[in-house]
């Protein structure tokens, strides 16, 4: 999708669909919407008076047969209540309009800049939200389909009357396009079936990113993983004929004040090992690499936006299956950090591979570590599919990630690192066991990982919002790309 910003009038912009807006409860359109209504001889006002449109957030209605303007159709999208309006609502309105445009098979779309004039929001923020929301709303996974694939919007134009805002809108649209494209790219990785997207595939993707953006890249195979002392990564992968990979990408900012490590869980398929999942629980486990997808997609954004912070991206990539050499409950392994771990549940494998990765990151003397993982079903139970959990040793880091998520359409909710629960992770035969009490599962998982972080500021994001089972405002059924926007937003703020 190509994004353009033009200075001019909505009533003179040719397109397959022209998008305008209205707050809930408004009876008389004003501004750009009012100008289009006037050009249409009051067609929008008539829809409101007839009760066909209320202005609820994401509500859409289409006016066809437009005379007097070059657009073939006009779409009215609801902005919701004015008192609740902000950047997230701009994104949701843009996504709703894009999805409807996609259904209409529109190749060209033009839009008013939602929020900037009527709500007083910065033009940059609104343009970013419109571009990002448009990409996310139009997204559909079609890579493996050979028929019934609808054409995507090819050109999207933001139309603005105030010439002094054009430069700011162009900058915002550019950032929104990069972040939106990165989230969509992550969705493609996660939605891809595990016979396509395996550890070797993720490694190849990382190499392509390195070639494209000049990152340092190192990929370790099984032998190198074992020789380096990452015994937990090696252990989890033992049951599969698919070889593991430990992926390392490095972006060095010229004037960086700090280095942030971002770690993504890359379990490309999780059957649970000998603690086997049910057939129902196993279906969809191709998405257990959503953390890895978010980290790699964030590096795609980093390569394009070049933040003033160095970034070390780490992805331990494995399959967790049953096999003749698979690990058993009760086995003990020494982690990269030196601690011994008893495996009392082979289906709690994500924390094992992340433990080795964060211990490695600590050794690289980074300033902060952020890990992302579809770690626990407990977090899904606690927060549902619309919110991801975050646990952190740093109030500032947690709050910054929460804020970055909010303006990128992602909701993060902080859970406590309750130290008393560490007691449940004690093993009779090793330093730790990999699961504790069945209660407080999300907290227990984070506490386990913290044991390998040391005194570095750290945040763990449990991606309960990685996949949705029905369409939402910003995502279709399937992968959401959660974590990608929060990571890029946070790194760009440093």
- Helix ranges (DSSP H) in 270-409: 279-282, 290-305, 350-363, 377-383, 395-406
Which of 222, 258, 277, 414 is flagged as catalytic? 277
| Chain length of the chain | 494
Distance CA 266, CA 200 (A): 11
DSSP per-residue codes, 416-466? ---GGGGGGG--SSSSEES---STTHHHHHHHHHHTTTTTSEEEEEE-TTS
- Answer whether 261's CB lies under 8 Å from 368's CB: yes
The separation between CA 155 and the C-alpha centre of its own chain, rounded to angstroms, equals 24
- Answer whether 368's CB lies under 8 Å from 456's CB: yes
Is 56 an annotated catalytic residue?
no
Residue 346: closest CA among 229, 198, 239:
239
Which of 100, 245, 286, 351 is flagged as catalytic? 351
| HSE value, Cβ hemisphere, 13 Å, CA-based, for 409 | 32
Task: Print burial letters for 219-229: b (CB count within 10 Å at least 16), e (below 16).
Answer: bbebeebeeeb
Task: Print burial letters for 72-109: b (CB count within 10 Å at least 16), e (below 16).
Answer: bbbbbbbbbeeeebebbbbbbbbbbbbbbbbebebebb
Helix (DSSP H) and strand (DSSP E) numbers for the chain: 15, 20
Give the contacts of 38 (CB within 8 A, at least 6 positions apart): none
Between the CA of residue 481 and those of 48, 64, 324, 339, what are the distances in Å?
Answer: 36, 34, 34, 33
Angle ∠(401,131,156) on CA atoms, nearest 5:
170
Is 277 an annotated catalytic residue?
yes
Catalytically annotated residues: 277, 351
């Amino acid at each position: 999708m190509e994004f353009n910003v033009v200075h001019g009038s909505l009533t003179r912009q040719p397109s397959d669909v022209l998008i305008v807006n209205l707050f809930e409860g408004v009876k008389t359109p004003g501004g750009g919407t009012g100008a289009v209504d006037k050009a249409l001889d009051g067609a929008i006002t008539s829809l409101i008076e007839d009760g066909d449109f209320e202005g609820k957030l994401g509500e859409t209605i289409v006016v066809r047969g437009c005379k007097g303007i070059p657009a073939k159709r006009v779409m009215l999208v609801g902005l919701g209540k004015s008192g609740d309006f902000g950047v997230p609502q701009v994104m949701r309105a843009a996504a709703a309009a894009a999805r409807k445009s996609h259904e209409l098979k529109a190749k060209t779309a033009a839009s008013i800049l939602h929020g900037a004039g009527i709500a007083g929001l910065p033009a940059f923020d609104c343009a970013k939200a419109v571009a990002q929301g448009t990409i996310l709303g139009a997204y559909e996974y079609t890579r493996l389909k050979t028929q019934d694939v609808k054409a995507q919007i090819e050109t999207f134009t933001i139309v603005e009357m105030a010439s002094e805002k054009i430069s700011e809108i162009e900058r915002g649209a550019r950032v929104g396009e990069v972040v939106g494209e990165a989230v969509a790219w992550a969705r493609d990785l996660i939605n891809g079936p595990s016979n396509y997207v395996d550890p070797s595939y993720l490694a190849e993707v990382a190499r392509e990113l390195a070639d494209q953006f000049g990152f340092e890249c190192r990929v370790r195979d099984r032998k190198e993983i074992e020789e380096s002392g990452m015994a937990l990564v090696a252990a989890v992968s033992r049951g599969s004929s698919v070889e593991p990979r430990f992926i390392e990408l490095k972006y060095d900012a010229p004037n960086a004040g700090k280095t942030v490590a971002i770690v993504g869980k890359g379990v490309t398929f999780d059957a649970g090992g000998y603690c086997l999942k049910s057939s129902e629980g196993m279906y969809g486990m191709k998405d257990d690499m959503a953390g890895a997808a978010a980290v790699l997609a964030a590096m795609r954004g980093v390569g394009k936006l070049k933040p003033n912070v160095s970034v070390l991206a780490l992805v331990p990539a494995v399959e967790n299956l049953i096999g003749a050499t698979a690990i058993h409950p009760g086995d003990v392994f020494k982690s990269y950090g030196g601690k011994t771990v008893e495996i009392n549940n082979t289906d709690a494998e994500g924390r094992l591979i992340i433990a080795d990765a964060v211990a490695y990151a600590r050794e690289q003397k980074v300033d902060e570590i952020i890990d992302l993982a579809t770690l626990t079903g407990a977090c899904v139970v606690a927060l549902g599919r619309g919110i991801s959990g975050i646990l952190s040793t740093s109030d500032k880091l947690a709050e910054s990630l929460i804020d970055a998520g909010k303006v990128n359409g992602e909701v993060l909710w902080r859970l406590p690192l309750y130290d008393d629960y560490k007691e449940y992770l004690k093993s009779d035969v090793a330093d730790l066991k990999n699961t504790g009490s069945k209660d407080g599962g999300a907290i227990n998982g984070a506490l386990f990982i913290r044991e390998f972080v040391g005194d570095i500021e750290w945040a763990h994001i449990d991606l309960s919002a990685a996949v949705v089972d029905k369409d939402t405002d910003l995502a279709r059924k399937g992968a959401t790309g959660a974590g990608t926007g929060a990571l890029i937003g946070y790194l760009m703020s440093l």
